[in-house]
């Protein structure tokens, strides 16, 4: 374990401030009643400086996993562990020969399980396998088959059990599509032709299609050496690509859209007319510029973060049009959309988002539940002094259920970083507030993405 045996300097505000060590605690205090069916681990990833490091960017720093073990109405333990990547061990992402070391990354963005492997993810490198106790096993290239980076947002087809993902890079191939079978074997890798190296953080799948987001944030050599070598490019344009994933070598059909950027997709599906409906969180150009200034800043987190709105695009693969139809779904600034994973790529009525989640947002935080059929929404509003992270949906398992029968899990942290709780909310009655909260033994920095990992039978 790493101890805080040297003084660490952190320039980020309280709820983002890194913790200096790895700890574990057993028998966590619970307020309310934890649903007994929640038997497993909630694990969340995010950046966390090493002791002695100064991290002044909200997106930077080695990955750290925070985990809470729930079982039979108890909170058995909390523990946190750094992901021990090549960068953690001091290796450089770019070698002296100019080659990229895809194991020398932060692995700080997401954590998920597929085919009994738990993987810590970041979009610029290989995934790193970890144990159920959050210790690092090492980089995973699926038996040498994966030779590109892996997105932090793979999509699991709930019917086939296949995991769809991609890698993007600053050098050709700029974009590569990959697919794992249900057993975790890499069975397909295929280059997708795009004009340049773009920062593609997320994508979508439907029953038959992949939806690509080819947007005007590109790799720029003039930014190399700075915090992030990607910037807005007005000349690049913006488009969505539709590709059959059940036909090897299928061409991509591109649809023009208004210039924007998307970090996170809510869901995509095929409607009764065969059109693709994509819901995602959209940044208009000015809002992206404001947010990106915060993301790339090493000194100033006081500038505005920019607004990001839930938005819908409709694309018709069978039609003759070359542009998508698009419309905003709400005027609130939201991020981190989640859903019932059993409905990924299929029609899904409910999406869950959070407000006030930007690193420097002055807005109060809420968890928002959208009904995409009726257009209505409900929310649970937190106290002004509380920051909230992504809310992960966990389906109920005690018999037949509606789409929203289940629980939302999220870590809430005081703005000064002094304390945190794991909140458990009934997704059918969000406004009622938590049915239970677990007191964590320390303030947990507001991070990125996480998963519920139920115990395996």
Per-residue pLDDT of 89-120, as tens digits, reads 989 888 777 788 999 999 999 999 999 999 99
pLDDT value at residue 72: 94
In sequence order, what DSSP letters do the residues of 272-318 get, joined into one string?
TTS-EEEEEEEE-HHHHHHHHHHHH-SS---S-----EEEEEEE-TT
**How many Å separate Cα 452 from the centre of its chain?**
13
pLDDT value at residue 52: 82
Handedness of CA 133, 135, 137, 142 (dihedral sign): positive
Where do the domains of the chain lie? 14-454
pLDDT value at residue 338: 98
Measured between alpha carbons, how far is 167 from 150 in angstroms, rounded to an integer?
5
Strands 350-355 and 276-283: unpaired
Do the Cβ atoms of 15 and 46 come closer than 8 Å?
Answer: no
Instruction: Report pTM.
Output: 0.94
Could you please state the CATH topology (level 3) that the domain comprising 14-454 is classified under.
Neuraminidase (2.120.10)
pLDDT value at residue 4: 46
Give the chain's mean pLDDT: 92
Tokens linked to 11 = 């320039």
pLDDT value at residue 6: 39
Which residues of the chain register pLDDT less than 70? 1-11, 56, 225-227, 296-305, 359-361, 399-400, 457
pLDDT value at residue 3: 47
Q: Under the phi-then-psi rule, with left for phi > 0, alpha for psi from -120 to 50, and beta for the rest, what region is 291?
A: alpha
The DSSP code for 319 is S
Please count the CA atoms within 13 angstroms of the CA of 103 that sit on its side-chain side: 14
Per-residue pLDDT of 287-321, as tens digits, reads 999 888 877 665 554 445 689 999 999 999 998 88
């Amino acid at each position: 374990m790493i101890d805080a045996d040297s003084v660490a300097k952190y320039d980020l505000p309280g709820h983002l401030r890194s913790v200096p060590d790895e700890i574990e605690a057993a028998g966590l205090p619970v307020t309310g009643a934890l649903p007994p069916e929640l038997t497993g681990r909630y694990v969340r990833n995010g950046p966390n400086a090493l002791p002695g490091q100064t991290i002044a960017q909200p997106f930077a720093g080695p990955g750290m996993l925070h985990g809470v073990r729930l079982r039979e109405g108890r909170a058995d333990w909390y523990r946190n562990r750094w992901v021990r990547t090549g960068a953690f061990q001091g290796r450089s992402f770019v070698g002296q020969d100019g080659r990229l070391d895809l194991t020398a990354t932060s692995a700080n963005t997401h954590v998920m399980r597929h085919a009994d492997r738990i993987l810590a993810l970041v979009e610029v490198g290989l995934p790193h396998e970890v144990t159920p106790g959050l210790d690092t096993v090492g980089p995973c290239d699926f038996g040498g088959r994966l030779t590109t980076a892996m997105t932090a947002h793979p999509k699991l087809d709930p019917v086939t059990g296949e995991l769809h993902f991609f890698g993007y890079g600053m050098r050709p191939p700029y974009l590569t599509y990959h697919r794992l079978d249900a057993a975790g074997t890499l069975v397909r890798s295929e280059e997708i032709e795009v004009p340049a190296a773009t920062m593609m953080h997320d994508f979508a799948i439907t029953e038959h299609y992949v939806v690509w987001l080819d947007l005007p944030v590109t790799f720029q050599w003039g930014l190399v050496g700075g915090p992030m070598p990607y910037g807005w490019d007005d000349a690049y344009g913006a488009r969505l690509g539709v590709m059959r994933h059940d036909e090897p070598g299928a061409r991509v059909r591109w649809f023009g859209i208004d210039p924007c950027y998307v970090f996170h997709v809510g869901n995509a599906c095929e409607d009764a007319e065969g059109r693709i409906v994509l819901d995602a969180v959209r940044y208009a150009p000015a809002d992206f510029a404001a947010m990106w200034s915060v993301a790339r800043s090493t000194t100033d987190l006081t500038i505005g973060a920019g607004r990001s709105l839930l938005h819908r695009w409709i694309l018709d693969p069978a039609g003759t049009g070359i542009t998508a139809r698009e419309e905003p779904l709400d005027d609130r600034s939201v991020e981190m959309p989640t859903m019932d994973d059993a409905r990924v790529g299929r029609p899904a009525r409910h999406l869950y988002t959070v407000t006030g989640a930007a690193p420097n947002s002055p807005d109060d935080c809420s968890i928002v539940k959208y009904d995409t059929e009726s257009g209505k929404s409900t929310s649970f509003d937190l106290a002004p002094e509380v920051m909230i992270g992504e809310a992960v949906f966990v389906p109920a398992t005690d018999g037949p259920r509606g789409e929203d029968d289940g629980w939302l899990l999220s870590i809430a942290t005081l703005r000064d970083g002094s304390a945190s709780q794991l909140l458990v909310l009934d997704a059918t009655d969000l406004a009622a507030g938590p049915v239970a909260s677990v007191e964590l033994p320390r303030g947990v920095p507001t991070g990125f993405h996480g998963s519920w990992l139920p115990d395996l039978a």
